[in-house]
Amino acid sequence: MQTLPLKNILIVESFNDSAFIRLLLKDLELFPETDTEVIDLHKFPDPDNSDKILRGKTAIGGKLKSFKGDWLTREKYREVQRLGIILDFDKESLEQNLERVNQAIRGAFGEQPKLATENEFVKIVVAEGGVNIELSAACFFTKDSSGNGNLDTLLYEIRQHPESLVPYADCLKNWQTCVNESDSKLKVSQDLFSKMWVSNFLRAKDRDQPKNQRVSGDFEAKQHELIENFGSEMFDLKHAFLTSLRTFLSSFKSA
């Protein structure tokens, strides 16, 4: 298959986010034939301090600085036209999340038009070292039915066949209820519950796979492989809660 010029960059938080976005791109028939690269924010050197390792959504500024260097100097990235930033909504407001992204864009590219909402592109223009380049940038914040949350809380809500219980994961609900109704000073938040549920759910599903297709080695570090390879069997990729994310990803389809 002929390699297509790289046109789109999508920056996500973790390996699991990257695997799930790849899964959706494939379902949208935008991957692997697409000209889009998905980059995660998991452990990379700080471009301002090589002794420091960055990770997670707070590292978006460092990653954009790193990408700017690639964009200006590496032939592979010279034809990139669109940049998408996908971070967890978490419990911050939309305004706080947007400001995080806008600050990161300013820090990497200098003063640029501000992103005023999700799924709305702005033009970034850079003239440096005799090179004049521009691209369109937009952001999206992963959320569940509550309007906030993260990938884990979303995956918990979009599982395939929720009526078919997976005890290794679903019995955690009894534990959450027991703890939260007790006198314990430690409570189990929905974020913590969903994170543990997803990990246990994936581990149980991994055991359902033929032995030669199971995740090998450190499961926590490699569970993203299960999402990418078997996610369509475990999660409803057409779920209504994914409509806005699918719309965002569709905007990166080449004409």
Tens digit of pLDDT at every position of the chain (255 positions): 446 788 999 999 999 999 999 999 999 998 767 789 999 998 877 777 778 887 889 899 999 998 998 888 888 888 899 999 999 999 999 999 999 999 999 999 999 999 999 999 999 999 887 778 899 999 999 999 999 999 999 999 999 999 999 999 999 999 999 999 999 999 999 999 999 999 999 999 999 999 999 999 999 899 999 999 999 999 999 999 999 999 999 999 865
Residue 205 sits at the vertex; the CA angle it makes with 203 and 210, to the nearest 5 degrees, is: 110
d(CA 22, CA 165): 27
Q: What is the pLDDT of residue 40?
A: 94
- Cα gap 130→174, rounded to integer Å: 62
- The pLDDT of residue 131: 74
DSSP state of 13: S
| Confidence (pLDDT) at 226 | 95
Q: Classify residue 15 as exposed, middle or buried by CB count within 10 Å of its CB (0-12, 13-18, 19+).
A: middle
Q: What span, in angstroms and rounded, lies between the C-alpha atoms of 164 and 202?
A: 15
pLDDT of residue 116: 97
What's the confidence (pLDDT) of residue 1?
43
State the DSSP string of 127-161. Answer: EETTEEEEEEEEEEEE--TTS-B-HHHHHHHSBS-
Q: Among 199, 212, 214, 211, which residue's Cα sits nearest to residue 166?
A: 199
Query: DSSP assignment, residue 90?
Result: B
